[in-house]
Amino acid sequence: MFGTLRPARAALSCAGRSDWQHFYCGTCQSIGDQFGLGYRALLSHDAVFLGLLVDGLQLHAAAPDRTRCPMVPVVHRPTVSPDSVAMRYAGAVQLLLADQWLADRAIDGRGFARIARPLLDKPTARARETLAELGSDLGDLIGVEHRQAATERVGMTDPEQAAEPTAAALELVFERIVALPGSVAECTAEPAPRSAALVRCDLDPRRLLAKLGRGVGTMIYLIDALEDLEQDQRAGDFNPCLVHDYRGRPQLDRARIRDAARGLERARTDVAAALNALPLRRHKPVLVNILVTQLGARAQLAAAGAERMLSEAGQRRQLLDRATAASGFVRFAQAIVGLLIATFTTTWSRLVLAATTGGTDTGDTGTDTGTDTGDTETETGDPPDLPSEFGDIPPDLPDATTGPESAGEAGGAGCSCLGELIQSLCGGFGDACSGCGDSLGSCGRCFEGCTGLCSGCGQDCGQTCSSLGAGCGQCNEGCDGCGNGCGNTCSSCGGACSGCGDCGNACNGCGNCGNGCSGCGNCGGGCGNCGNGCGGGGC
């Protein structure tokens, strides 16, 4: 009831608008005089309506007055006396309405309301004292928000049951108006007005006010429920016209909406009848405009909006039913979709398995090849059988089982010769072997790499091995099997063996050069370990 009871200003006469404006400004002035200037911001149309109703039931009208408008300070607006019973009652009830508004939202869990409500404790207490002085104690309204929250249970509370706490609260507020000083306790013997809204004197004003308050409370609650139907459904909040399905989702309930609409219509009838029967002395057109015209039209719009939502929901349901009716086609489509999904899943699984298997086999092949090669080298590390014509390998030669790696571990610089050969193959065989020749003294089997290079080289073998021979007396073994180019190699062989003393013809295997280094081991200090240089070359 915070701002609901407002007039349809376009439907008011000039006198009616003037009455409403005077009491609107008068209620604002009364709130400021009783509780302070800042509390004027709490002014609502509901308190103005109550001021009009109280003054209409008073034997004497409130005295006119003027006040400076706090919004436009240079303007003095016409009002009614803030000390009148109607204005004191309206101002006090406005504080209670504001407190109740915050209490209702605090129950809903809104943090702002919980923080702001304690700020109204003192003015609310003064408002209750004012009402007690006027003989209209409303202490029974304390805790009404808890009664309202306890009533609202999803799926169990129908619309009229949910509206009961609000209806009972306003019934109490309206009924206590009769107890105010100067109120019309009973109908007078004055002649009835000739207007359509006749005053009936055969009913107790207290009962009429109670009936009016209950009807207004019911209308306010049900209008709010129907207007917020879509919002509450979307947010999942309580609404007496909603029920939850098996999934817990709020759904419109046709029976509850129809019950709410019927309850609204009954309340409208009660309000119109009670208002028509009240012994009002003034302001009746304005009150009829507020309760019958404006509030009644709002009730009709709320009911029509709920019916429209039901119609839209029914159309959606019909579309769903039509889709369900074509269940044969739907099942066929589902089968096709399931088959496509199964086919795709199976094909994809096989592709992934094939790709994984191929990658694993490749890795295994590489691993096996490396292992087998290592094993072969280890197993074949024994010295190769040499031709008998070269005699026994001198005892000071390195063991063939150690290979190039063992020699490298001893600190020789020639053990990296094979790696250098491989890295420099693109640069030509001559350059590769020239580096190798320099290292033959430290790596016994390095010359074997050069032998492999010269093997089958054709016409270039002589040039390649000529540089090899410069560092190795037994150049003839480097050119062994080189074909017709061996002669060129032997042309420089003598120079290569010049350091070997009387070794004889050094180019064994190169034609008619004679026996190579057959006596090389006895060359003396000039040759050193000449046989060692040829050891890796196959001498």
10 Å Cβ neighbour count for 356?
A: 10
Helical segments of 439-520, H only: 446-454, 461-471, 475-478, 486-491, 493-496
| Together in a domain, 288 and 417 | no
- Residue 377 forms part of a structural domain: no
| Together in a domain, 80 and 223 | yes
User: Where would I find the beta strands (DSSP E) of 404-461?
Assistant: none
| Together in a domain, 213 and 102 | yes
The pLDDT value recorded for residue 318 is 66
Q: What are phi and psi of 235, to 5 degrees?
A: -85, -15
Instruction: Give pTM, 2 decimals.
Output: 0.58
- Residue 2 forms part of a structural domain: no
Q: What are phi and psi of 263, to 5 degrees?
A: -65, -40
Please state, in angstroms and rounded to a whole number, the distance separating the CA atoms of residues 534 and 529: 9
- Residue 123 forms part of a structural domain: yes
CATH of the domain at 130: 1.10.600
- Residue 506 forms part of a structural domain: yes
- Residue 329 forms part of a structural domain: no
Domain that holds residue 434: 405-535
Nearest to 306 by CA among 243, 225, 238: 225
| Token pair of 479 as six digits | 């050119």
| Together in a domain, 444 and 314 | no
| Together in a domain, 51 and 174 | yes
| Together in a domain, 299 and 424 | no
Please state, in angstroms and rounded to a whole number, the distance separating the CA atoms of residues 397 and 380: 19
- Residue 141 forms part of a structural domain: yes
How many independent structural domains does the chain possess? 2
Q: What is the pLDDT along the chain (539 residues), one digit of tens a residue?
A: 567 899 998 999 999 999 999 999 999 999 999 999 999 999 999 999 999 999 999 999 999 999 999 888 899 999 999 999 999 999 999 999 999 889 888 887 788 888 988 889 999 999 999 999 999 888 888 888 888 888 887 767 889 899 999 999 999 999 999 999 998 865 443 444 444 344 444 478 999 999 999 999 999 999 999 999 989 888 888 899 988 877 778 888 889 999 999 999 999 999 999 999 999 999 999 999 999 999 999 999 999 999 998 888 777 666 666 666 666 677 788 889 988 999 999 898 888 888 887 655 544 444 444 444 444 443 444 444 444 444 444 444 444 444 444 444 444 444 445 555 555 554 444 444 444 444 444 444 444 444 444 444 444 444 444 444 444 444 444 444 444 444 444 444 444 444 444 444 444 444 444 444 444 444 444 444 444 444 433 43
Nearest to 491 by CA among 452, 531, 461: 461
Domain edge (last residue) among 295, 323, 351: 323
- Residue 375 forms part of a structural domain: no
Whether the Cβ atoms of residue 100 and residue 16 lie closer than 8 Å to each other: no
Beta partners for 78? 66
Domain edge (last residue) among 307, 323, 339: 323
| Together in a domain, 278 and 424 | no
Please state, in angstroms and rounded to a whole number, the distance separating the CA atoms of residues 417 and 458: 23
| Together in a domain, 76 and 187 | yes
Domain edge (last residue) among 306, 323, 340: 323
| Together in a domain, 135 and 280 | yes
Q: Which residues contact 69 (CB under 8 A, 6 or more apart)?
A: 25, 75, 76, 77
The pLDDT value recorded for residue 245 is 79
Q: What are phi and psi of 64, to 5 degrees?
A: -70, 160
| Together in a domain, 13 and 148 | yes
Beta partners for 250? 244
- Residue 357 forms part of a structural domain: no
| Token pair of 27 as six digits | 């209620």
| Together in a domain, 56 and 151 | yes
In order of 73, 424, 484, 510, the CA distances from 457 in angstroms are 116, 17, 10, 15
